[in-house]
Structure 1
Amino acid sequence: MAARRQLLLRRATAGWRRGYSSAGAAEYLHRSIVPTMHYQKSLPRLPVPKLEDTITRYLNAQKPLLNDDQFRKTEELARQFEKGIGRELHEQLVAQDNQNKHTSYITGPWFDMYLKSREPVVLNFNAFMSFNPDPKSEYNDQLIRATNMTVSAVRFMKTFRAGYLEPEVFHLNPEKSDTEIFKKIIRFVPSSLSWFGAYMVNAYPLDMSQYFRLFNSTRLPKLNRDELYTDEKAKHLLVLRNGNFYIFDILDRDGNMLKPSEIQAHLKYILSDNSPAPAFPLGYLSSENRDTWALLRKNLLENGNEEALQKVDSAVFCLSLDDFTVKDFVQLSHTMLHGDGANRWYDKSFNLIITKDGTAGINFEHSWGDGVAVLRFQNEVFKDSTKAPAISPQSQPASVDSSTAVRKLDFKLNDALKAGITKAKQKFDASVEGLSLNMIQFHEGGKDLLKQKKVSPDAVAQLAFQMAFLRQYNQTVATYESCSTAAFKHGRTETIRPASIHTKKCSEAFVKELSKHSTGQGFDRHLFGLRYLASSKGIALPDFYQDQAYARINHNIISTSTLVSPAVQLGGFGPVVADGFGVGYQVHDDWIGCNVSSYPTRNGKEYLQCIYKSLEDIFNVLKGKKIGS
């Protein structure tokens, strides 16, 4: 069972195959005969790995990063930890886990890790995924696309809340499990046993506990630790344009969605409003250090802005309408990853961003959830808005009085708040100024050729990143690749450590083959959980965690993440450390795309040239050609 479950931990992008159903087309995407949360109760729990296995994996991951003397010291500290304080902490962690069977051992510490961080969320945590253009070019108009995507997003929300959204399932044998017959049978299996029924036909339901935070949710800045806030009763949409904040109800008092023509009318009204940009745009505050922002928010609340802020926090989501067209992929990445700071509210669970030419993307706050939930949302919104668009280029907006339906939020600012916004803008501009985004497309091969040669596409991409860094900087460094643990109850992510002795040797010798796979038994979250436990119990930080090698392996210079979906054009995030690279990549059937972010201490453009050269070398070896110099 465990071996099969491990196959799930790569990435959960299985949802695309679901057929579009017109049932309840006005209000719902589809009506699944299996209730949305049918499998949630019976999901298997995330296992706490054996301590000796964690230590062995940790030492294996350290080998390529350390010389012999350094490794001997680290090994000694690790073995002492394993026999001493580490054993005690591990037993306490297992006992704690056994008392909290409703969740996973990593859930609390992981939320704390995000919410206690004082770093600005923009560039440090928020990631983006951009949509592919609508296949029908005339639908890539800002007003048309904003209307259609808003309608599809609300349909998604309503479908999820009604329990009609098809459960997220990873199908290893879709001919057996992704069928009407199977669904008709499994819906009668009690929720407490349903996972086992799916497992019998090689289908693996995924955790959907994060989905409720997609809507009406915001991360609130508080001193020392932020809070997640959700108000499912709120019925309004937040729209940002030119740094101005607008709201209008998108649901009526019975919870029915506004007619698409009325949504179109209200958005048209906002797009034609020629109010100047505010002198002190509030959006910048959500890009600040969290403690600084918490104090400024307190000032805002005390200065008579409570109702306006509550409207921002409780809105269904934030729609950001940008007044420019996108020239190329680099500008697209900058727009979706950070924008201008004035026309975003980075604390919302997500901002749906649509530019003048209908280019669309999502910038999402990371503490509440991971890419699995956002990607499912993005897939469904793209499919629904392109295959069943609510309005067409010929549609006329409804004859309604938008001036009464749409309300512009006004914020009362005192001198301290104005100074705070000015400072936040200066810091934001400086951060963005130092960020480079570069990309390549490698067209000499992709997934098809690699599978034909029986080589893992993901492993080849990771090997290329290792080779490139070695070529550029003549060293092997700590590398992080995120993988989902959504196959388990309340699973979040685990770290894959692509830098190994094998990749190091491979990189040095340009060897053609590498086998790397994810397991549900990563060492990073386990060690993190033990450290968190020690800290929460007031235990002095064990020597193991004070080892420089531990600090170094957690200073992830290369941080990578991948996803491929028919809805997604591009994805990216900022470097996780000041001297690092943030690498978003996609391995397509016949090409490989790579999007790299970096700050001035690293040369992202040169790194991409080295990745290109490395891919060239790998593919030449696989094709039986000579490697160039």
Structure 2
Amino acid sequence: MASLRSIHSVIPLRRCSNLVHFRPAALGIDTRNYSSRKVSSGEYLHRSVVPTMHYQKSLPRLPIPNIEDTIKRYLAAQRPLLDDDQFRSTEKLAQDFQNGVGKQLNEELVAQDKNTKHTSYISGPWFEMYLSARDPVVLNFNPFMSFNSDPKSEYNDQLLRATNMVCSAVRFMKTLRAELLEPEVFHLNPAKSDTDRFKKFIRWVPSSLSWYGAYMVNAYPLDMSQYFRLFNSTRIPKLGRDELFTDTKGKHLLVMRKGHMYVFDILDKDGNLVKPSEIQSHLKYILSDPMPAPTFPLGVLTSENRDVWAGLRDKLIALGNAEALETVDSAVFCLSLDDESMRDHIHISHNMLHGDAYNRWFDKSFSLILTKDGQAAINFEHSWGDGVAVLRLQNEIFKDTIEQPLVHPGSVAVVDSASAVRRLQFNLDSELENGIKKAKENFDSAVSKLTIDAMEFKKGGKEQLKKSKLSPDAIAQLAFQMGFLRQYGQTVATYESCSTAAFRHGRTETIRPATIHTKKCSHAFVCQPGQHSVEQLKAMLNDCSKYHGQLTKEAAMGQGFDRHLFALRYLANSKGHALHGLYADPAYAAINHNILSTSTLSSPSVNLGGFAPVVPDGFGIGYGVHDDWIGCNVSSYPTRNVHEFLQCVHKSLEDIFTVLEGKSLS
């Protein structure tokens, strides 16, 4: 299970009044071959020998850590962030919690978990945390992942690429629902487990035992319970707590252009994919619609505070818009066709993360965005699940569209799109118009404060680090620690998370990359130049790498401390108990105020991934360690200088690779 670190999402934390709200960003998964070798044409991406949900019943349950281990790990993570007096105070509170209230709460949590064997101890509280958050989903929750361009340049045309991507997404959905999609499995020994022979064997093993059969050949099936929410799903704003809505009967696509909303069926009455040429014709019809942008585009409301949006939605329904809203909510997914061309990757990041809010419905489970010059991305709402499912969808769409596109340059269909495509109409009054106007003002104010910059380090990457027997992810994280120390002279709370999808209804667990080892190493490189030999610096790098590896193994096995402490606090709140002093400790608030919020992404389909900082004085760091280079896509608000930070990270990487080459630092 050690290598399950390569399945990791990022859910940075956000401190809001007395609650800690977790704010997810993007998720990264090391590249692996998702699709079955035998690809069928027509309705399905492929036909898996093993049914999609075959392993689900037998997945092991997410373990609840021992309270003693949780407190030990919590204190280890606090040590580099606190001075001696602060640490002694935090240590006293933590040990008092462990021996008293924490022990009692943990016994209650374990007993509760035994009565809910169909799920995990974190699943309910996690949904509650997301859906109760009142902050706008834009910048606070929704991340984006942009696609690489199609290697055949002529297929990067907006209309052509949108058509092919819509068709591939529908094929993915149909393959999933027919249980023909390859199960999500992490193979430690693919020569034994990722073979036709093994698959033919395991399909006859009862579902209740199938996980054990995979385990015997070092394969680890992953939880796929979130996948059904990918399609026909929307987050519905409600006062106090939102709801998730899914209606699998919906056969139509929601298309947004210039702030208008259009729908047409992408499945016929028998549930089959509409002819790709017809879909192309309908999208061409929408792209050629001369209707000017609406004065009050409804999509802007999905960028608003959730309670404000809930009240305005109730007003919309009262004015007779219930059917139109239900059409939006039940659509298979949202396709946003933007009229803008992208200037560079910074422009892409801003456009795909937030855009102008006119041409988005941020509440859909995911939106596929296509710009005028054929740049594509997925922006997704995060309450329904983690990025494992979204990245799988993105990988499959990319693979399918480049290997077997269904429409081609020059293809034209003669179809009566005018009768097939319907533009949705909404009744608005002055209160709603003012609400849209105010939402747009709030949105513009929020995004105007966001800065995004990027960096490419070209002097080394994964190959060189592995030759030096160092974890590429550990070294990237170390560079962020060094960079922040170089810029601000501090070690601060840092967040990286690891998927716990190897367990039934697992979500994520936190890796805490700021450690006593990274602090010591960073100070040696940044604050004490020339005071250590190359061998001493290499030894420190090795210590950082080993400890980071230990933390990630523990996290993959559900043995971190963040989720456990979160669940214990949630339980205490739900029982009406007063919270222990551990939760009121300034050190607890500080470690959950994640100034460095990080997410790594490695996939042949993904060009960029991005998200906003999770705290006003933080950085949102999307990064990738490639074979011979390292890239970062970083966001900040005005209290931090993202350009200078990236310069400091680049300098830190230069120093690390200089030492790895056996040279002393100048």
TM-score, with normalisation over the residues of structure 1? 0.98
> 2:439 is matched with which residue?
424
Query: Structure 1: which amino acid aligns with 2:303?
Result: S
- Aligned equivalent of 2:658: 620
For residue 147 of structure 1, what is the aligned residue in structure 2? Answer: 163
Contact kept, 8 Å, 2:496 with 2:511, in 1: the verdict is yes
* Letter of the 1:223 counterpart: L
Preserved CA contact (<8 Å) 1:20 1:384: no
Q: Secondary structure at the match of 1:342?
A: coil
481 and 284 in structure 1: CA distance in 2 versus 1, 3 angstrom threshold: same
Selected match of 1:404 from 419, 425, 437: 419
Q: What is the CA-CA distance between 1:6 and the residue it aligns to?
A: 6.8
Residue identity matched to 2:584: Q
Q: CA deviation at 1:315?
A: 0.3
Q: Which moved more, 1:2-11 or 1:275-284?
A: 2-11
Match of 1:41 in 2: 57
Shift of 1:13: 4.2
Question: Pick from 177, 183, 201: which aligns with 1:167?
Answer: 183
- Paired residue for 1:587? 625
Report what 1:462 is aligned to: 477
Contact 1:250 1:258 survives alignment (8 Å)? yes
User: What is the CA distance between 1:394 and its match in structure 2?
Assistant: 2.4
Name the structure 2 match of 1:22.
Answer: 39
| Other-structure match for 1:335 | 351
The residue identity in structure 1 corresponding to 2:493 is: A
CA distance in 2, matches of 1:527, 1:387: 46
**Alpha-carbon distance between aligned partners in 2 of 1:3 and 1:317, rounded to the nearest angstrom:** 36
Q: Which residue is 1:551 aligned to?
A: 589
| Paired residue type of 2:460 | G
What is the CA distance between 1:18 and its match in structure 2? 3.1
Distance 1:45 1:15 in 2: 25
State yes or no: 1:493 paired with 2:493. Answer: no
Q: 2:313 aligns with which of 297, 313, 316?
A: 297
Q: Is the 8 A contact 2:36 2:182 kept in 1?
A: no
TM-aligned CA distance change 1:20 to 1:275, over 3 Å? farther
- Note the residue ranges of structure 2 that are not aligned, 5 or more in a row: 10-27, 526-536
Name the amino acid aligned to 1:287: S
Check whether the contact 2:79–2:516 (CA below 8 A) recurs between aligned residues: yes
1:20 deviates by 5.3
What TM-score, normalized by structure 2, do the two folds share?
0.93
Residue number among 192, 199, 204 corresponding to 1:188 in the alignment: 204
Cα distance in 2 for partners of 1:50, 1:282 equals 49
CA distance in 2 between partners of 1:354 and 1:3 (Å): 38
Aligned to 2:129: 113
The residue correspondences of 1:7-18 to structure 2 (distance < 5 A) are: 12-13=29-30, 15-16=32-33, 18=35
- Give the percent of matched residue pairs that are identical in Structure 1 and Structure 2: 69
SS of equivalent to 1:459: helix
Deviation at residue 626 of structure 1 after TM alignment: 2.7
Deviations 1:388-418 (A, max 9, x none): 001110211x221111100000111100000
C-alpha distance in 2 between matches for 1:38 and 1:281: 44
The residue aligned with 2:640 is: 602
**Are residue 508 (structure 1) and residue 517 (structure 2) matched?**
no
CA–CA separation in structure 2 for the residues paired with 1:28 and 1:539: 52
1:354 is aligned to: 370
Aligned to 1:256: 272
Structure 1 unaligned regions, length at least 5: none
**Partner of residue 540, structure 1:** 578
Q: Deviations over 1:232-290 (max 9, x none)?
A: 00000000001000000111111011000000000000000011000001111000000
Give 1:21 deviation, angstroms. 3.4
Is the Cα–Cα contact under 8 Å of residues 120 and 288 in structure 1 kept in the other structure?
A: yes
- Residues 442-496 of structure 1, C-alpha deviations (whole Å, 9 max, x = no match): 0000000000110100000000000001011101000000211111111111110
* Residue of structure 1 equivalent to 2:143: 127
What's the C-alpha RMSD, in Å, of the aligned pairs? 1.2
8 Å Cα contact 2:7/2:30 also seen in 1: no
Q: CA offset at residue 625 of structure 1?
A: 2.0
1:4-42 deviation line (CA, Å, top 9, x unaligned): 76776686445435355332x111000001000000000
> Matched residues in 1 for 2:439 and 2:385: separation?
26
- Residue identity opposite 2:58 in structure 1: S
8 Å contact kept, 1:14–1:169 = no
AA matched with 2:148: N
Q: Indicate the SS of the match to 1:16.
A: coil
Answering whether residue 70 of structure 2 is matched by residue 60 of structure 1, we say no
Match for residue 455 of structure 2? 440
Q: Is the 8 A contact 2:454 2:631 kept in 1?
A: yes
1:276 aligns with 292
1:365 matched to 2:403? The reply is no
Tell me how far 1:431 sits from its aligned partner. Answer: 0.6
Distance (Å, rounded) in 2 between the aligned partners of 1:40 and 1:14: 23
- 1:13–1:375 Cα contact (<8 Å) kept: no
Residue type at the aligned position of 2:456: Q
Contact 2:3 2:188 in 1 (8 A): no
Q: Report the Cα distance in structure 1 between the residues aligned to 2:583 and 2:70, rounded to whole angstroms.
A: 14
**Helix, strand or coil: the match of 1:34?**
coil
Distance 1:13 1:616, change over 3 A: closer
Residue among 563, 566, 587 paired with 2:604 = 566
Whether 1:388 aligns to 2:426 is no
2:617 maps to a residue whose letter is D
Alignment-derived partner of residue 473 in structure 1: 488
1:379 matched to 2:398: no
Deviations 1:69-92 (A, max 9, x none): 000000000000001111110000
Q: 1:214 to 1:8 in 2, by over 3 A?
A: closer
Looking at structure 2, the residues matched to 262 and 626 of structure 1 have their Cα atoms a distance apart, in angstroms, of: 64
Matched, 1:197 2:181: no
Instruction: Establish whether residue 241 from structure 1 lines up as the match of residue 257 from structure 2.
Output: yes
Determine the C-alpha separation between the residues in 2 that align with 1:434 and 1:3.
40
Aligned to 1:266: 282
Q: Is the 8 A contact 1:13 1:376 kept in 2?
A: no
Letter in 1 for 2:632: C
